[in-house]
Amino acid sequence: MAGRLEGKVAFITGAARGQGRSHAVRLAEEGADIIAVDICEQIASVRYPMSTPADLAETVAAVEALDRRIVARQADVRDFQALSDVVAIGLAELGRIDIILANAGIIVMQSSSDDIRAQQAAFDDTIATNLVGVRNTIHAAVPSMIERGEGGSIVVTSSTQGLTGRGGTGTGGSDGYVAAKHAMVGLMRSWANWLAPHQIRVNSVHPTGVNTPMVVNEPMQAFAARYPELTAALGTNLLPVEAVEPRDISNAIAWMVSDDARYVTGVALPVDAGFSIR
């Protein structure tokens, strides 16, 4: 039986591991071909290990194991031209883009004792990746969707921090993360209005903590242990689960980009085990 996304092509950023890889695999299971992008190198202000070319190769293997096509390239979402080049390659090989998942993002963990230059660098890197990178992703890929005239679906990955702002620390990384994740909701709603005449739907997804390498790593655990008041401020999920799995977010996205949700647009969807209402 054909999947819900048979014949579709999805452009996914941050696809080398974590949620991005999970989304690529889940959409491939539904029949989609994939254009996968990831930076696959370290950003100086980020203290946990970021993705590698080997990670991206694992995503390629996972998608190809499902007998789906995939175009995978290294590119930094902060670089609009680099994203545009990947889109051009993907269109040349796969012919179309029907789905855009602006998923790439970073967390910069800081203490209030970090010097002002480090604070500013953390803020700038976070905004450039988590907000400007999202805008770059949409503007690199959506013109081909508009030109084709067959509609489409966009999902931007925000966070519970884009709905609540709980746990702010006043540091550059924290300020940048919360600001970017809130701003993405405004962009999503603006784009939903802009693109509705083209039958392109735009929504955001807001996960609680997800069991991925960005969250589950030694620097993050050390940071949480050093600042227990931050953990207390963030609280816990309403449902009795410490973190959700990437697949939980992917399942929600697979529905949002399918025709099962064909009249769902402009929605900020929490997949957060009740975190936002606790």
Active site residues: 177
Residue 122 identity: A
User: What is the C-alpha separation between 39 and 78, in angstroms, rounded?
Assistant: 9
Give the CA angle between residues 143, 252, 34 to the nearest 5°: 45
Structure tokens at 190: 């603006």
Structure tokens at 221: 């655990």
Helix (H) or strand (E) holding 26: helix 18-29
Residue 96 buriedness (CB in 10 A; 0-12 / 13-18 / 19+):
middle
Q: Which of helix, strand or coil describes residue 107?
A: coil
Give the CA angle between residues 125, 157, 116 to the nearest 5°: 20
User: What is the C-alpha separation between 248 and 33, in angstroms, rounded?
Assistant: 20
